Structure 1
Amino acid sequence: MELALRLSLAGVFLVSGISKARAIGDSVEMWATLRKRFWPGVRNLDRGLAWALVTVETVTGIALLIPGRLAVLGTAAATALMAAFTAVAIISALSLLQVKCACFGSAKSELGWRHVWRNLVLLSIAVGALVMTGADAYGSLATDGIVIAVAAALTVTALAAFFDQIAHILRDNW
């Protein structure tokens, strides 16, 4: 179970980091919005902050793949990041700040309640993984357990990465 949770987080953070790198302009715009609201006197940090987030997400995703202490650090980082992302989504959903969601690359919609719920699910996965993370993550699993963990992780990653598109399809067809 711990491996499935950790691999799910790794997939989410790696896809998110790579997607943000491919559409860095949208991440820069997201940071500009946040900076203007919370640090109005600070200038010229948006691009650097966008690339820093790409780096942190990617490094977190890689750390989650490596058993032992790096997995523990990666899980702690993933939990902290998901808590921060959830807080920003709540602030945006309450209309205190309209932030475009550059969660998985290009920003097509503003952060809203659906992002809060998605982030809360991912945060609960991160907390669960943090509680369960141990040094012998792969050694005690049989091959079928690893296959199931990878399949679960791929499912969670796909659902998170395509969350906005799935929400639009469901909204438009129901």
Structure 2
Amino acid sequence: MTAYLLLGGRCVLAAVFAVSALAKFRAPREFASALRAMAVVPERLAGVTAAAVPVVEVAAGLLVWAPMPIATWGFVLSGVMFAVFAAVLVSVLRRGLDISCSCFGASGVPVSRAHVGRNLILLGIAGAGLTASVGSGPGGLGAAGVVVVLLVAIFASILIIATDTLVELFSTAR
């Protein structure tokens, strides 16, 4: 069972980090602007932070696929990143800022509790992957189980990446 959990965690984290990093690499100025608007790093560090975050996201997404025990550190890094992302978004909400996070590219959807929830879900996935990576022993993966895990991971990744779209779709403030 832990082998399937490990596979699912790896797939979701790698997909989410890949899409997130790609969006930030494609629009670094927009992400830097979002960081400035959030006022979570000093103004002079916004550009450097905007450049560093997607690099670390790529690293985390690759590390979870590395052999053990390196993959374990990839899950730790992922968890730390999602905890920091959630804390930043909570800070934005508590200060009443009406801005989007640009987590997956330019967006007009303001930061909401759904965005915090997304990061907490990803933190949980990183934690489950960490637990599975530490407890994983030799065990085979059946073909049917792998297919199910991959389908669930694809579906979960799409829902996570589409948070802005889903928030906008189900928003009651119209």
- TM-score interval, smaller chain: 0.7 to 0.9
- Regions of 4+ moved over 6 Å: none
Residue identity in the other structure for 1:3:
L
Give the number of aligned pairs. Answer: 170
The residue number in structure 1 matching 2:37 is 33
SS in structure 2 opposite 1:65? coil
Q: Is 1:86 paired with 2:86?
A: yes
Residue aligned with 1:133, SS: helix
Equivalent residue number for residue 148 of structure 2: 148
**For residues 122-169 of structure 1, what are the alpha-carbon distances to aligned partners after superposition, in whole Å with 9 as ceiling and x for unaligned?**
111111111111486896212222222222221111111111101211
Distance 1:14 1:67 in 2: 19
Taking the TM superposition and a 5 Å limit, the aligned residue runs for 1:34-113 are 34=38, 36=39, 38-39=41-42, 43=44, 45-95=45-95, 97-113=97-113
| CA distance in structure 2 between the partners assigned to 1:94 and 1:114 by the alignment | 14
Partners of 1:15 and 1:129 in 2: CA distance: 19
- Residue 107 of structure 1 and its aligned partner are, at CA, apart by 3.5
Contact 1:72/1:134 (CA < 8 Å) preserved in 2? yes
Whether the 8 Å contact between 2:23 and 2:105 is mirrored in structure 1 is: yes
The 1:162/1:82 distance shift into structure 2, 3 A limit, reads same
CA distance in 2, matches of 1:38, 1:71: 29
CA contact (8 A) 1:68 1:136 kept: no
> 1:26 deviation in Å?
1.5
Aligned Cα root-mean-square deviation (Å): 2.5
**Inter-CA distance 38–19: structure 2 relative to 1 (3 Å threshold):** closer
Contact in 2 for aligned 1:24/1:105 (Cα 8 Å): no
- Aligned partners of 2:47 and 2:6: how far apart in 1? 35
Q: How many Å apart are 1:77 and its aligned residue? A: 0.5
CA drift of 1:2 comes to 2.2
**SS of the counterpart of 2:141?**
coil
Partner deviation per Cα, 1:29-80 (whole Å, 9 max, x = no partner): 122234x5553xx62x322211100100011111122332231111111000
Q: Is the CA contact 1:3–1:137 (under 8 Å) kept in the aligned structure 2?
A: no
Partner of 2:16: 12
